[in-house]
């Protein structure tokens, strides 16, 4: 097994070694996940904030702790090392109380969220529902006519939000020849392949066909759902998604640093996995969700949307779905995961270990950015969930 390198003093390779064909692989991913705009086209999500970032919080409240994750006590810093941690931020009752940064990661460093981006896209949909500009029962094609003949054309917006569409698509990260590889190439995330036509994100989505079942069945994870939602956001709002996100989330939530989102050759955003931002700003989104959508003394996200998102999932649809093995008793709603644990924690999750975890009972928000070598690792997921549960129960006094 390759040893974690993010605790080293230097990246150990030249910048020009990072290419589209290796940027998600170790060791290049440690640098690449923090510098996506340098090699993939992106659009800025402007913060507008003039407030300086709060001073750094010492890591020792975390790193000096001992946790028990697999029956044996272990220093928390060792858990961070073996789970490829780039940054860990903990808020308690709205205050940053502990944080850890790997070398060359500071308070202004952005990191790609991968599929945690989906949850932010879900919030943008919720804002437009609150504005009366999106009807969740309406078919996708009403907003995006180009997708009328695709798998998504007759799916409702709610089906798409909950990953309960029927789509003939397999999310296989290691497949270099199938639809998932086409999907990455359409988003300019992988190098083009000679002999294969160049596609845009919309062209790719329009090519997907409905599966053998009807929409509204079991949960089935399918990232293109979230890119469809990104298109719906743009059509319903009349704004580019990064501009709408800046105006309706970044600015009212008081996020301190500008974010970014990857775009294809036509400027279509990768709403399913392309957002980069700082860990503290992602934690501020989690804190707003913990507080029912309120931030800085005002209601930013509709409270009804927050309540539905964190508690309105269908456990039966989840239990019959393709992710229930690692989260038994969980559920999924509006692009967010519900843990089903005693504290009713909810979270976002991206490949290679990107997390936003909110524990309402303990009033704790945790962000963890990682550079795991494998995009999906069941043991890492369970380890991180156990870790977050331990941290939520710490006494930080």
Residue 241 has pLDDT above 90, yes or no: yes
Give the separation between CA 231 and CA 269, rounded to whole angstroms.
Answer: 8
Position 8 pLDDT exceeds 80: no
Backbone angles phi, psi at 259, to 5 degrees: -105, -170
Dihedrals φ, ψ of 127, to 5°? -65, -40
Q: What angle do CA 84, 90, 91 make, to 5 degrees?
A: 160
Using CA atoms, how far apart are residues 14 and 331, in angstroms rounded to an integer?
A: 43
Q: At what angle do helices 224-237 and 116-130 cross, to 10 degrees?
A: 30
Average pLDDT, the chain: 94
d(CA 309, CA 286): 12
**Helices and strands, number each (H, E), in the chain:** 15, 15
- pLDDT in the model for residue 70: 78
Active site residue 26: no
Q: Are 231 and 239 in contact (CB under 8 A)?
A: no
CA distances from 369 to 279, 376, 393 (A): 7, 14, 21
Q: What pLDDT does 3 receive?
A: 42
Q: Lowest mean pLDDT: which of 125-139, 169-183, 206-220?
A: 169-183
CATH number of 125-228: 1.20.58.710
Q: pLDDT confidence of 206, banded at 50, 70, 90?
A: very high
How would residue 64 be classed by pLDDT, with cut points 50, 70 and 90? confident
What is the model's pLDDT at position 9? 38
Please report which confidence band the pLDDT of residue 10 belongs to, taking 50, 70 and 90 as the band edges.
Answer: low
**Distance of alpha carbon 141 from its chain centroid, rounded?**
25
Q: Give me the pLDDT at residue 5, please.
A: 42
CATH C-level class of 15-116+240-392? alpha beta
Least confident of 73-77, 138-142, 161-165: 73-77
Query: Predicted confidence band at 375 (pLDDT cuts at 50, 70, 90)?
Result: very high
- Helix runs in the chain, H state only: 28-32, 60-63, 76-82, 116-130, 140-143, 157-161, 179-186, 201-207, 224-237, 241-245, 251-253, 279-290, 303-311, 315-319, 378-392
Other beta carbons within 10 Å of 191: 12
Does residue 344 have a pLDDT over 50? Answer: yes
Q: Where exactly are the structural domains of the chain? A: 15-116+240-392, 125-228
And the tokens for 12?
């150990």
Kindly report the backbone phi and psi dihedral angles of residue 332, in degrees, each rounded to the nearest multiple of 5, phi listed first: -145, 135
DSSP output for 25-79: STTHHHHHTT-GGGTS-EEEE-----SPPPPPPPSHHHHT-EEESSSSEEEHHHH
User: Per the structure block, which two tokens stand in for 129?
Assistant: 């529902």
More confident residue, 200 or 10: 200
Query: Is the confidence at residue 192, as pLDDT, over 90?
Result: yes
In the structure, what pLDDT confidence band is assigned to residue 351 with cuts at 50, 70 and 90? very high
Query: What pLDDT does 250 receive?
Result: 98
Q: Higher model confidence: residue 189 or residue 2?
A: 189
pLDDT at 4: 44
Q: Would you give the end-to-end CA distance of the chain in angstroms?
A: 38
On the question of pLDDT at 86 being above 70, the answer is yes
Instruction: Calculate what percentage of the chain has a pLDDT beyond 70.
Output: 96
pLDDT at 69 over 90: no
Q: What is the mean pLDDT of residues 200-229?
A: 97
**pLDDT at residue number 11:** 66
Condensed to tens digits (0 to 9), the pLDDT of residues 286-300 reads 999 999 999 999 999
- Select from 115, 192, 208 the least CA-distant residue to 154: 208
Q: Which carries the bigger pLDDT value, residue 109 or residue 17?
A: 109
Instruction: Single out the catalytic residue among 115, 223, 237, 371.
Output: 115
- Cβ neighbors of 223 (< 8 A, separation 6 or more) are 115, 118, 171, 183, 272, 273
Q: What is the mean pLDDT of residues 117-129?
A: 98
């Amino acid at each position: 097994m390759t040893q974690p390198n993010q605790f080293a003093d230097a990246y150990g390779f030249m910048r020009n070694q990072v290419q589209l064909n290796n940027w998600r692989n170790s060791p290049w991913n440690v640098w690449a996940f923090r510098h996506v705009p340098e090699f993939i086209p992106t659009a800025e999500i402007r913060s507008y904030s003039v407030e300086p970032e709060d001073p750094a919080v010492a890591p020792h409240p975390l790193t000096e702790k001992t946790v028990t994750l697999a029956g044996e006590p272990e220093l928390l810093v060792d858990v961070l090392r073996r789970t490829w941690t780039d940054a860990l931020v903990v808020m308690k009752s709205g205050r940053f109380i502990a944080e850890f940064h790997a070398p060359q990661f500071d308070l202004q460093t952005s990191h790609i969220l991968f599929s945690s981006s989906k949850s932010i896209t879900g919030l943008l949909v919720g804002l437009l529902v609150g504005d009366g500009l999106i009807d969740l029962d309406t078919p996708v094609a009403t907003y995006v006519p180009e997708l009328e003949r695709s798998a998504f054309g007759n799916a409702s917006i709610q089906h798409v939000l909950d990953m309960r569409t029927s789509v003939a698509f397999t999310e296989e990260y290691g497949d270099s020849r199938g639809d998932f590889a086409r999907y990455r190439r359409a988003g300019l995330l992988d190098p083009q392949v000679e002999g294969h036509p160049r596609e845009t994100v919309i062209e790719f989505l329009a090519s997907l066909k409905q599966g053998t079942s009807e929409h509204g069945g079991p949960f089935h994870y399918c990232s293109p759902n979230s890119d469809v939602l990104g298109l719906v956001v743009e059509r319903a709002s009349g704004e580019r998604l990064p501009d709408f996100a800046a105006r309706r989330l970044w600015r009212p939530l008081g996020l301190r640093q500008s974010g970014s989102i990857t775009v294809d050759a036509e400027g279509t955003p990768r709403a399913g996995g392309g957002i980069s931002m700082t860990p503290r700003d992602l934690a501020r989104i989690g804190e707003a969700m913990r507080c029912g959508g309120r931030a800085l003394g005002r209601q930013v996200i509709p409270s009804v949307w927050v309540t539905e998102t964190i508690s309105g999932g269908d456990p039966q649809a989840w239990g019959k779905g393709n992710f229930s093995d690692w989260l038994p008793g969980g559920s999924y709603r509006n692009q967010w995961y519900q843990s089903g644990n005693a504290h009713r924690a909810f979270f976002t999750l991206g490949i290679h270990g990107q997390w936003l975890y909110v524990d309402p009972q303990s009033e704790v928000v945790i962000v963890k950015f990682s550079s795991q070598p494998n995009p999906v690792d069941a043991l890492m997921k369970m380890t991180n969930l156990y870790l977050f549960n331990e941290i939520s129960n710490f006494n930080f006094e």
